[in-house]
Structure 1
């Protein structure tokens, strides 16, 4: 019966190892959450029963025996289990969404390299579909919300260079591989439109856009289950919204999620799979999280995008978010124009973004502030390592900062060129001394 199951449903079902069954819905291979495989197995049994009417003799008896074996729950499970390991139903997870330059929409699959739009194809093994098509055409009346969306953008991002940069980044996010190891942070106080922009773009991206818990990027004592990372598989655009004030980045996690290294993840009670990242990550927050000031790899990734305009209460339109969501074709067209612009000039962050990022870095440089306030640099200066760390700990306590371990402090000092040395007075740092303290003999 497994062979019959394969023959009946070879165009409709795929089993992906480590993930589960997927059903073709005309646009993509949709992950099954309702045991559709068993429903199709029952259909195969019913088809076989109908065939009995046209058979006779041993052929009829043999088929009847197979049907009887398959009518139980264990028989149905055995049928789909065997079929799940046979081609073409059996698919490796790495085969899904494998072409980074294909962007699937309800009206066809866009080749980002050529601009061609072709019919959605089973053979592409795509599991996502956008919320609108690029070729949906203009509605009979109006412009599909394009003018309202553009006016909204100009209101919340009046700087044309910043607006164009945001458009390029969203355009780059259509690409299904990580080539830009950056994370824009959309920041500003409330009522500035950044959440409405997120919702409009997510509606246009459809399955390709997800939102993750901001706790993922914040320091925590608790290890999260790898299932949350499974949501990243195949995603193109990932939002992380509204971190709490005073929270600190989990910098190693942020670097992993914005890097290009393979990700290992697993669903509950499933074997782990490994996949290449395809997502671009954006953080939305009213409060910039705390971050160390001395890890170059972190600061190479961060791009602060200011949303400084606060919409007065009398101008706020409660119906605008829903209207922009319904304007998904216009929004996706704007995003695609950003992709074309990205191909011309890359991300090319504007000066405003660079300056805000530098200001964020300077404000985050806690050790730099300590050294500026409490120490003096001099070629002949020297300070006991323990004495400097004690002063650092006291300064952090009075400043509301985390001092960390002495080992971490030494590593941060080494990054700035201050290395511990052994001298007759013990371990010391050369070239620096506490302010108001005379130089000590080595």
Structure 2
């Protein structure tokens, strides 16, 4: 039954059994209990003595529902994708789409069907990135663990991958995309009471509502517990709450208590009884003490992915701030709680909130939920007014209860937020204004040095790359891919690396746009897709028509352009054959000019473009201009290799995606190279631009095809223009006006005024020779 489980996993002593017990509250209707195969008792994720070897677990599992694997200290992690029956069905049919296909093809590690039959488990070597471990979305459930959890193992392999792969890097983009590490704002403490020392912790715990239990256990009493070990665990659970799961402080306080005995330091399961008890208490702790807030309440997080919980805390050192019973007071309360983590932009008419790494446009009602929390926290203030009535003879509690009830209405909460707006304003110009920094999931990169610093809300970054940065990551497949598509041209590859690195910045000093040109099956689409995957929020895609000449086009107020503010990489693909670039707009967007734009239903605002345009195309867009101003901006990167149909790797993009962290490092290195060397076009790019310019020069083509050039020759201007119009019609070329034609000819040949007509000197039509 379990033959397909990889042998390297079977060799580890991390195996348990599990049993299903009815649980009406559970989504599946059952609860999966981890079982110690040796004793039949409950297996614990932090106690290896409750685990066993694979063979024993399989043998004993006949009495239970099956076997499981504990991840702690194993060097492995598990990915659980559940509630995805449609995705699973399409994957089993061999269709190359859906979340399950994406995970399997990027990780390429042992995969089996989950016990529910509606998803899969993938087992991988390595460590998971920091951040959340669980997320439920409309696509299904996503869970990833490398500690304090076990996976039910079915042995029902469902992929071509029989071995376990090292996936520490390849899991990062998937983790960021589907789980991430951001979270909604946490209320700000006003003021805070810190518990830094053991004495402060003991004093606070003893004075709390359940302080009697704490004092009893601290003094050594085990009354009410079936054993001293149970009392030890109860006391450690209290200590986990009050110390914020600080194992060192927990151990220090326990040793000073009346519960301390020799057993605390007794060796057990490769550790000690005391250390294992503390670990268990920390693992089971879902709420910790945090400093008190004005109003006598606290908001606590165990992890960014878990919801905020609200609990009463006694106020010891300060009196809480009290607010007026109106919209202004409600707004002041909200600002005290969340003012540093929300902003309102009057220009865009939008709320923003800070998730710990970037400022997010509120598209899902986050700020409204914070308003709900602010109202919920008023309950703690009711006790303060009751105490005031008792101490000072006031009659405030009843009035506050009436006010609090009215605050629950939608009208009142909207009024509160309306009053908050002017307290937390922000302008578009304040957002993403630092051109030499790049926000990533792991911190902010200084692109001048390559160094990384912690996130800071006051930098007002609204964008973030999709990939973490690592100085040690490599990308051998990517380098081989570049070598293939650019025919081993080292100068061209170095130039492309610098161009991508330059695109990471907000600088437009090079004043250029990149055109990736070549017929199909040459790797340009894969190249641009991979680069875009790294940039994350810094990337945007536009339809080719946005920068092409269109009828009734307004470039001053354009929502297509407005959404490009703050972007660093703008991609576009496959313009139609024969379309013409809006040269004035391209100059404006690639220069240092200020652009006026307006988002849909928003007010006008000005910004300076920071993005670099990358267009992949099989057809060269038409450029009518002949001036240096337009042609110096065109960087044409040739993709001359054509991969035979039979040699196309359909999974190449997924293989390259596994190296995104390394490719990101390659791009940052390119940025540093660009700052050192500049972006001089290599020979391959320079020749491609020259050829492009010759193709677009209609006048030169006409002269070469229909005229003779030489000293002493001349032709009437009207005859020459008529011949040009006839030639252009026959060859499907652009037909310019007589004025434009005359201006272009005058740049190359002398125009002479004669009696009744004008002549061009130094040129004549072939038919007149």
TM-score, normalisation: structure 1: 0.89
1:13 paired with 2:342, answer: yes
2-side partners of 1:343 and 1:136: how far apart?
Answer: 19
2-side partners of 1:66 and 1:378: how far apart?
Answer: 95
2-side partners of 1:389 and 1:62: how far apart?
Answer: 90
- Give how far 1:347 is off: 0.8
In structure 2, stretches of 5+ residues that fail to align are 1-329, 387-393
1:389 paired with 2:726, answer: no
Aligned twin of 1:311: 643
For residue 168 of structure 1, give the secondary structure of its aligned residue in structure 2: helix
Matched-pair contact (CA < 8 Å) for 1:303–1:357: yes
RMSD between aligned alpha carbons?
2.4
For residue 85 of structure 1, give the secondary structure of its aligned residue in structure 2: helix
**CA shift in 2, pair 1:402/1:55, >3 Å:** same
1:3 paired with 2:335, answer: no
Among candidates 115, 119, 125, match of residue 460 of structure 2: 125
**CA shift in 2, pair 1:60/1:211, >3 Å:** same
Among candidates 360, 364, 381, match of residue 51 of structure 1: 381
2-side partners of 1:222 and 1:179: how far apart?
Answer: 31
Instruction: Give the stretch that moved more between structures: 216-225 or 194-203.
Output: 216-225
Aligned pairs (5 A) from 1:423-438: 423-426=754-757, 429-437=760-768
1:190 paired with 2:520, answer: yes
Matched-pair contact (CA < 8 Å) for 1:226–1:267: yes
- Number of paired residues? 429
TM-score, normalisation: structure 2: 0.53
2-side partners of 1:213 and 1:389: how far apart?
Answer: 36
Among candidates 560, 574, 584, match of residue 252 of structure 1: 584
Among candidates 674, 699, 702, match of residue 342 of structure 1: 674
Matched-pair contact (CA < 8 Å) for 2:708–2:765: yes
CA offset digits 1:124-165 (Å, max 9, x no partner): 101111121222755xxxx5xx11111111111121111111
- Give how far 1:422 is off: 5.5
CA offset digits 1:105-128 (Å, max 9, x no partner): 111101112322111110110111
Aligned twin of 1:403: 735
**CA shift in 2, pair 1:42/1:259, >3 Å:** same
Aligned twin of 2:440: 105
**CA shift in 2, pair 1:17/1:390, >3 Å:** farther
Aligned twin of 1:36: 366
- Give how far 1:6 is off: 1.5
In structure 1, stretches of 5+ residues that fail to align are none
Aligned twin of 1:270: 602
2-side partners of 1:406 and 1:66: how far apart?
Answer: 78
- Give how far 1:295 is off: 2.7
CA offset digits 1:389-434 (Å, max 9, x no partner): 3222221111101213333323333444655x65531455555444
**CA shift in 2, pair 1:293/1:55, >3 Å:** same
Aligned pairs (5 A) from 1:18-417: 18-19=347-348, 20-56=350-386, 57=394, 60=397, 67=404, 70-86=407-423, 89-135=424-470, 137-138=472-473, 146-157=475-486, 158-223=488-553, 226-292=558-624, 294-377=626-709, 382-416=714-748
**CA shift in 2, pair 1:55/1:294, >3 Å:** same
- Give how far 1:95 is off: 0.8
Matched-pair contact (CA < 8 Å) for 1:131–1:328: no
**CA shift in 2, pair 1:390/1:62, >3 Å:** farther
**CA shift in 2, pair 1:392/1:64, >3 Å:** farther
CA offset digits 1:355-383 (Å, max 9, x no partner): 11101111111111112333344566554
Matched-pair contact (CA < 8 Å) for 1:383–1:432: yes
1-side partners of 2:715 and 2:379: how far apart?
Answer: 89
Which of structures 1 and 2 has the bigger CA Rg?
2
Matched-pair contact (CA < 8 Å) for 2:449–2:672: no
2-side partners of 1:10 and 1:326: how far apart?
Answer: 40
**CA shift in 2, pair 1:296/1:76, >3 Å:** same
2-side partners of 1:101 and 1:368: how far apart?
Answer: 43
Matched-pair contact (CA < 8 Å) for 2:347–2:604: yes
2-side partners of 1:294 and 1:344: how far apart?
Answer: 32
Matched-pair contact (CA < 8 Å) for 1:136–1:329: no
**CA shift in 2, pair 1:323/1:14, >3 Å:** farther
- Give how far 1:235 is off: 0.8
- Give how far 1:180 is off: 0.6
- Give how far 1:60 is off: 4.8
**CA shift in 2, pair 1:33/1:406, >3 Å:** farther
